[in-house]
Amino acid sequence: MNGTAAQLDHGKENLPSAGEKLCMSLCQAFTTGPLARYNLRQRAVGGRFESSQQYVAERVSNVDGYREAFRSYCSFEGKTVMELGCSHGYLLAAFLEHENFTAIGADIDPRALRRGEQMYGDRMRFLQTNANSVPLPDQSVDVIYCVDTVEHLSRPKEMLIDCFRVLRPGGTFLIHWHPWLGPYGSHLEDIIPFPWAHAFFSMDTLLRVAARIYDAPGYVPACYWMEEETGKPRPNPYLDRQRWEEFLNRMTLRQFRALLKELPFELCAFDRLAFGGKAYKAARLLSGLARVSPFDEVFLKALVCVLRKPVS
């Protein structure tokens, strides 16, 4: 997170609630105070929030980890593979560096899809989804995967059932996602610099504080809030409450388990990945808690779930 203590204090005297004042104080402590070494934005691997190129590079650097998690259950080689929530297709392109397959990228954002067509249109096909379906024929895909997407589905049950429809019998659905109560559940780590912020403050409080920080003089937003054409910040994204309601479904691990029971898939794997990893190595000491209920709700960094469509 960029900015000085003075910038973080911008407008502080006008904060309407004690909760917002406390949240702002914690932001300052994690930015210029004694906890700055744990600042989520500054500790982000690859400086991924600082430029679009670094963001994509960091995401692509994780492909080996995804391949390792997925390869026990299926190979992409020679198959028709769809990524749900593909953005502009950079992960699909990275997977294609390792295996040869027919690639389909599906996303709800037309802007991302247009960029994908420009960059990778000769290597993969792009489709625009809606909130609950994918425009593909029945039983037309061998493998579906999604990375950090389930938490953004506004109608997750309907979308996952439609994925079941487009999978061929015996097909595999590979899911990697971040449950709501984990350390990054609020998806605000580029501006609210401490983990589990949403466990201590309401989302409304966090968005109000984020909006004030964003408008502070000298604050440099994360790369995806910058206009590529002008290099200037976009209008304050934290003022649009409806957008954030649509952006995060706030699904917990418990709710996801319940959802799986309503789906026609066979469950092949349910692997819980602990908070820590490359950025917070010391947190590995607590990794065991990510595999023990109910602590897994809190100490889980991500979940890898493998589903299969029955052959008959």
| Strand 300-308 with 167-177, pairing | antiparallel
Domain boundary among 247, 264, 288: 247
Question: CATH no. for residue 278?
Answer: 3.40.50.150
pLDDT of 291 = 73
Contacts 24+ apart (CB under 8 A), 251-258: 251/150, 251/151, 251/156, 251/179, 251/180, 252/179, 252/180, 252/181, 252/297, 253/179, 253/181, 253/296, 253/297, 253/300, 253/303, 254/297, 256/150, 256/179, 256/303, 256/305
Please check whether residues 46 and 101 belong to one and the same domain: no
Please check whether residues 92 and 191 belong to one and the same domain: no
Please check whether residues 158 and 122 belong to one and the same domain: yes
Q: How far apart are CA 43 and CA 37, in angstroms?
A: 8
Does any domain span residue 63? no
Please check whether residues 209 and 232 belong to one and the same domain: yes
Question: Which residues, including other chains, have CB under 8 Å from residue 51's CB and lie 6 or more apart?
Answer: 223
Q: Which three-class secondary structure state does DSSP give residue 311?
A: coil
Please check whether residues 264 and 169 belong to one and the same domain: yes
The strand order across the sheet containing 266-274 reads 125-128, 102-107, 80-84, 141-147, 167-177, 300-308, 266-274
Which residues pair with residue 176 across a beta bridge?
Answer: 147, 304
pLDDT of 210 = 97
Please check whether residues 258 and 298 belong to one and the same domain: yes
pLDDT of 295 = 77
Q: How far apart are CA 239 and CA 191, in angstroms?
A: 14
Does any domain span residue 148? yes
Please check whether residues 110 and 46 belong to one and the same domain: no
Q: What is the pLDDT of residues 17-27, one digit of tens each?
A: 999 999 999 99
Does any domain span residue 59? no
pLDDT of 34 = 85
Please check whether residues 293 and 152 belong to one and the same domain: yes
pLDDT of 73 = 92
Please state, for a pLDDT cut of 90, what percent of the chain lies above it.
76
For the chain, which ranges sit under pLDDT 50?
Answer: 1-13
Domain that holds residue 84: 71-181+249-308
pLDDT of 7 = 43
Does any domain span residue 152? yes
Does any domain span residue 61? no
* DSSP letter, residue 286: G
Q: Which three-class secondary structure state does DSSP give residue 26?
A: helix
Please check whether residues 115 and 229 belong to one and the same domain: no
Does any domain span residue 215? yes
Domain boundary among 212, 232, 247: 247
Q: What is the pLDDT of residues 147-171, one digit of tens each?
A: 999 999 999 999 999 999 999 999 9
Q: Are 128 and 158 in contact (CB under 8 A)?
A: no
pLDDT of 13 = 47
Does any domain span residue 224? yes
Does any domain span residue 60? no
Please check whether residues 261 and 133 belong to one and the same domain: yes
Please check whether residues 224 and 125 belong to one and the same domain: no
Please check whether residues 203 and 260 belong to one and the same domain: no
Total count of domains within the chain: 2
Domain boundary among 227, 247, 267: 247
